[in-house]
Structure 1
Amino acid sequence: MIAHGIVRLIMRHYDDLTISRVLTRRPPGSIPDFPLDKVLTNSLDELIDNSDILIECSGDVFHGTEVIERAFQAGLPVVTVNAELQVTTGSYLAGQGFMTEAEGDQPGSLAALHEDALAMGFRPLVYGNMKGYLNHNPTPEDMAYWAKRQGISVDQTTSFTDGTKVQIEQVIVGNGLGATITRQGLEGLASTDLNESGSVLGAMAERLGQPIVDYVVPNGYPAGGVFLVCRHDEDQAPAIQYFKLGPGPYYVLTRPFHLCSLEVGKTVRRVLSSNKILLNNSTAPTLGVGAIAKHAMKPGQFIERGIGGFQFRGEALKLSNNPDHVPIGLLAGTTLKRAVEPGQLITFDDLDMQPSRALDIVLAQRELLAKPAALSVSTWAPGLRGMVALGG
C-alpha cells in the first residue's frame, strides 16, 4: 500500500522527480495493479545504479537492512518508512550513511511537530501518540476479518492491534529526540480529555527531569494523530491563553492526522534541498523494543513472525536495564530453546537464531553500547540530482 501510494503521488504531483526503479521480491509480472509496472525489478544492482535517492518501505527488517547497506556503499541517501528497521538496525546504519525516517507515519509526524514547536518557543515535555484501539492478544480470526476490511495484511493489522507498532514508533521518537520512558511498555493512559491526560504526562516528565514518549487511548474524541505536551515562557501565558491553548502551564499541540504515503514526498524534497535529517534512531540509542510472550510456549516451537505474530508482542524498554533482550524485529524464523511463560521478556538465551546481517549488526551494536567511548558518528554530504527509487 505504501509503495503504491508513493509512486502515484510522485508520478502525478512531483514534476521534478522521477520514479526510476522499484525493487520487489515478487515476479514483476505478478503485480498487475502497480502504477508503473515497467520500473519493477528484482535486481538490487539495477535499483542502485539508476537511483539518486532511495525510499525503503518494505517493512522488512532483514531485507531492508541489506538494501540500505548496499545503498550506502553507493553513496545514496535513504528515506525510510520502516520504523521496525529503525529500532532494530537503524542506529548502526545511521552511523554509516544518510538515513532519515519520513514524515507521514507517526514518528515522522511527531518530529515535524517538534520542529514547529521549537520554532514557536515551546519546550516539549511529552511526545505523544493517539492509539485508537488496543488488544494485547487478539485472535487470528478477528485479525483476518479486520485485515480484509481495511485492505492491509494480517501481520500489519495484528501489530497495530496488539500495541507493538505504537511501542516501536515511540521508541524511535525517544531515541531520535532525546526522550525516555516512565516504565517498560509505556503508560498508555485511557483518556477522555487530551488536555487533562497531557497534563498528567507532562507532570510525569518534569518529575523525571527528562522529556518522555508515551501514548493515550482516547474515548470520546478522535484518535489517529500525534501530540506534544509543552511548556512556554511564563510571560507568554496571557497570549497563549488568548490563542485558545488554555492557561498552562502545560500546553497540548496536536496534529490530528498522519497521511503516510501522501507525506513522504515532503521528506524526499527536504533531503534533496537541505540534506537535513528529520528523524532516525540515533547512533547512541537508550531505548529498544523487546519481545513479550503472549502465551506459554514449549521448547522447539518455531517462531514464524515476531512483529505482527500471535506468539509475541513488543514493549518499549530501557537498553541499560535489559542488555540481553532480543529485539522483536529479529524474532522471525527463530526457534525456542526452552519453555517460556506468558508475559516473559525473551532473551538471546531463549532462542536458536539463523545467521543474518541484521543479527550481526544488533550484536555488534550491543558491544558498542556497552563501551560508549568507542562510538563514533560519520558525516555524509553528497550532491543529489533528484531521482527517486523505492525499495520494497
Structure 2
Amino acid sequence: MNLFPLLQARNAAGRPVRVALIGAGKFGSMFLAQVPHVPGLEVPVIVDLDPQRAKDACKTVGWDEDRIAATTFTSEGAKAIADNVDVVVEATGNPAVGIRHARAAIASGKHIVMVNVEADVLAGPLLADEARKAGVVYSLAYGDQPALTAEMVDWARATGFHVVAAGKGTKYLPAYHDVTPDGVWQHYGLTASEAQSAGMNPQMFNSFLDGTKSAIEMAAIANATGLDVPSQGLLFPPCGVDDLPQVMRPRERGGVLERSGVVEVVSSLERDGRPVFRDLRWGVYVVLEAPNDYAADCFKQYGLKTDASGRYAAMYKPYHLIGLELNISILSAALRKEATGQPQGFRGDVAAIAKRNLRAGEMLDGEGGYTVWGKLMPAQTSLELGALPIGLAHRVKLVRDVGHGAMVRWSDIEIDVGNETVKVRKQMEAMFAPSPSR
C-alpha cells in the first residue's frame, strides 16, 4: 500500500527512482514495457550480452526514440552497477553471473532485486546476509511466483493462521522430467514459431516443464519463509483450486502432505493427461488452518472452500504477471527499504538428476538442458549426500558414469576449486548449513 503516493512525492521532489536492468530477455522486456507509464521511475542503463538486442526490445515494448536515445546500452554489468542508480535488477538467469552482479551491487551500496532465482537458490542466504550488513535491500522479484507466495505466507501468519502448505501450480506429468529442449514446445502448448516470435528460449522454458524451475522456486520459498521441504521431493499432486484444502493437508488428515508446513506444487494435469478442473497452472496458493472453532465458522460464513472438517481453507492468486509486476519490488526497496521476500536461512536445495544414462567425460549443460533436471530436497539431505546443486551443473565434466534418474554428486564431476561461484557456494554452506538436529 501507498507505494504510488510515495513515488509521486519523490518524483515531485525531482528525485526519480533510477534502475539499472541487467538482462533484457522476456522478464526484462516485460518490466521495460511498464516503465514509460510510471512517472518517477527511470531506467538510464540496460545491460545485455547483445546491447542491440536490448535496444530492439525497448522498441518492441513501445519505448519512443527519445527515451531510447537517453538510455545507455552496454554489455558491461560493472558499468551499470557503478552508474548513478538506486536499484540493480539482475535478470540474466545465469547463477554465476547473478551472484557476481549481486555482490558488486551490494558492495556499491545499491539495492538488488534478484529476478535470477537460480542464483538466489545457489547462494541467496549469503547474499541476503551481506546486503543486510551493508545496509541495502536484497529482494526476490515481485511478479515471479516465489515473491508472490512469500507474500501470501506472510499475510496468513500476520493474520493469525497456521500455514499448512504454500506454493504454485504448473503443468506436470512424471515423463516431463526427461524432456529436452527439442521437445519442449509440443508439451508446453506452443508452436516453435510462436515461441520464437515471443523471444522464448527453449532451454529456459524447458526448465519450467521438466520440474527444475518448480524445484528452484519452492527452494526459494522455503528459504524465504522457513517452510519445510518434502523429504522425498515434490509430489506435484493434481489439484484444482476448489480442492486445495482437501488435497493439500497432512496425510493423517486425509491429504497428501507428509506433514503440515511445507512447500508443494500442484499439477494442472491428472496423471492420465486429462486437464484438472479449475486448475492453478499460472497461480500461487496458501492453505490455512483455522486456529479455533470461531475462525473455522467464519470460513463457512464468508464462503471459503474448506475440507470436510471445515478447519482447512485456501487462498490463491490465479495468475502472476512476471515482469509486469516487478515495480513492486523496485519501489519497495527504494522507497521503503523493504524486500518482497528474501532468504532467511538455508532450508531447501536443488540437486542435479540425470535425464538419461550419462557417461564419464560428458559435459553437463545445466538447467532445462539435455543432461540433467533439478530435484528439490531438504538442504541438510543435500549436504549429507554431497548432491551437486543444479546451479553448478553448467559446463562441468563428469569423471564417472551416472545412471538415468540418479543424483549427480560433487564426487562425480571435475571440480574447479578456484571457481569463484564454487567458493561462494561453499561459503554459504559453511555459514548456513542446517543443524543435524533439524
1:42 corresponds to which residue?
75
2:295 corresponds to which residue?
236
1:383 corresponds to which residue?
none
**Structure 2 Cα separation of the partners of residues 316 and 242 of structure 1:** 38
1:168 corresponds to which residue?
216
Of 75, 100, 108 in structure 2, the residue corresponding to residue 74 of structure 1 is 108
1:350 corresponds to which residue?
412
**Structure 2 Cα separation of the partners of residues 227 and 107 of structure 1:** 11
2:41 corresponds to which residue?
17
Of 309-318 and 208-217, deviating more is: 208-217
**Structure 2 Cα separation of the partners of residues 257 and 91 of structure 1:** 28
Of 135, 139, 143 in structure 1, the residue corresponding to residue 184 of structure 2 is 143
1:329-356: per-residue Cα shift (whole Å, max 9, x none)?
1111100000000111111110013443
Three-state SS of the structure 2 residue aligned to 1:188 is: coil
1:203 corresponds to which residue?
250
The yes-or-no answer on 1:221 pairing with 2:278 is yes
Q: What TM-score, normalized by structure 2, do the two folds share?
A: 0.79
Q: CA shift at 1:208, angstroms?
A: 5.9
1:367 corresponds to which residue?
430
Three-state SS of the structure 1 residue aligned to 2:163 is: strand
Letter in 2 for 1:366: E
2:271 corresponds to which residue?
none
**Structure 1 Cα separation of the partners of residues 157 and 53 of structure 2:** 47
Letter in 2 for 1:179: L
**Structure 2 Cα separation of the partners of residues 118 and 52 of structure 1:** 31
Of 371, 378, 384 in structure 2, the residue corresponding to residue 311 of structure 1 is 371
Over the residues paired in the alignment, what is the CA RMSD in angstroms?
2.2
1:31-70: per-residue Cα shift (whole Å, max 9, x none)?
4522136321123332122211111111110111111111
Query: Mind listing any 5+ residue stretches in structure 2 that lack a counterpart?
Result: 1-25, 59-67, 132-136, 269-275
The yes-or-no answer on 1:293 pairing with 2:354 is yes
Three-state SS of the structure 2 residue aligned to 1:58 is: coil
**Does the 8 A contact of 1:80 with 1:102 survive in 2?**
yes
The yes-or-no answer on 1:96 pairing with 2:130 is yes
Q: CA shift at 1:171, angstroms?
A: 0.9
Q: CA shift at 1:242, angstroms?
A: 1.8
**Structure 1 Cα separation of the partners of residues 159 and 431 of structure 2:** 37
**Structure 2 Cα separation of the partners of residues 159 and 339 of structure 1:** 23
1:130-166: per-residue Cα shift (whole Å, max 9, x none)?
1123411124432266454333101112101101101
Letter in 2 for 1:340: V
1:296/1:85 CA distance change after superposition, 3 Å: same
Q: What TM-score, normalized by structure 1, do the two folds share?
A: 0.87
**Structure 2 Cα separation of the partners of residues 344 and 213 of structure 1:** 23
**Structure 1 Cα separation of the partners of residues 358 and 194 of structure 2:** 31
Three-state SS of the structure 2 residue aligned to 1:180 is: coil
**Does the 8 A contact of 2:379 with 2:433 survive in 1?**
no
Q: How many percent of aligned residue pairs carry the same amino acid? A: 23
Three-state SS of the structure 1 residue aligned to 2:248 is: helix
**Does the 8 A contact of 2:347 with 2:379 survive in 1?**
yes
How many residues align? The count is: 368
